Amino acid sequence: MNKRYVRYCGALLALCAPLAFAGDSVNGEKGIGVTLNDAEIIQVLHVANAGEIKAAQTAKTKAQNAEVKAFAEHMITDHTAMDRKVSDLEKKLNLKPQDSALSRTLQTKANAAIATLKPLTGTAFDKGYITSQVSMHGDVIEAARDSLLPSVKNAELKALLQEAGPKIEQHLQHAERLQEQI
């Protein structure tokens, strides 16, 4: 593939990704700021973790930059561990995950990010992946702040959300640093 074309695609992705991940103009339409039940919160957590893991698995094989590859490995490790905790709590509380507008929005965004990244290679891929990570982690922080934490009823689920918050913030900050570097 023509290097100029790849650079063009990477630049285009870097410019357009924030728009693609911005979601609907009204938060209620994308499920943010609405009240969710605990089963819907569990599903949001599963969807967020699965999207991160799938994107990171793609990055693990396609990224060229060593720091981007290391970041992807870190995302797989952390999000797999968090999803295991979510699954354990789900079983303990006997909850069956339920879809919501928020979980569907996060799923759609993750799928779109992965589809956009698949044809990219080299630096264009690295930049696109990191840009998507900034956006996706920002979306999860917004969802936790505006929907998940205000809605959660179960104390153990609330504690899990509160435990995850600083880690998600660290992921976002790490992705932002990488975004500046590459």
Contact 132, 10 (CB under 8 A): no
- Kindly state the helix (H) or strand (E) to which residue 15 belongs, with its residue range: helix 3-21
pLDDT at 77 (0 to 100): 98
Comparing CA positions, the residue from 138, 137, 161 lying closest to residue 74 is 137
Query: What six digits make up the tokens of 157?
Result: 């689920």
What is the C-alpha to C-alpha distance for residues 112 and 132, in angstroms, rounded to an integer? 10
Helix-helix angle 3-21:101-117, to 10 degrees: 170
User: Once rounded to an integer, what is the mean pLDDT over residues 128-138?
Assistant: 97
User: pLDDT-based confidence at 10, cuts 50/70/90?
Assistant: very low
Residue with tokens 């339920």: 98
**CB neighbour list of residue 86: distance below 8 Å, 6 or more residues apart:** 42, 45, 46, 49, 160
Give the model confidence (pLDDT) of 18-45 as tens digits.
334 333 333 444 566 789 999 999 999 9
**CB contact at 8 A, 135 and 116:** no
The CATH code that applies to domain 37-181 is 1.20.1260.10
The pLDDT of residue 154 is above 80:
yes
Q: What confidence tier does 177 reach under pLDDT thresholds 50, 70, 90?
A: very high
Tell me the pLDDT of the chain averaged across its residues. 87
Count of CB atoms situated within 10 Å of the CB of 128: 26
> What span, in angstroms and rounded, lies between the C-alpha atoms of 136 and 130?
10
Helix (H) or strand (E) holding 129: helix 122-143
Question: What pTM value is reported for the model?
Answer: 0.83
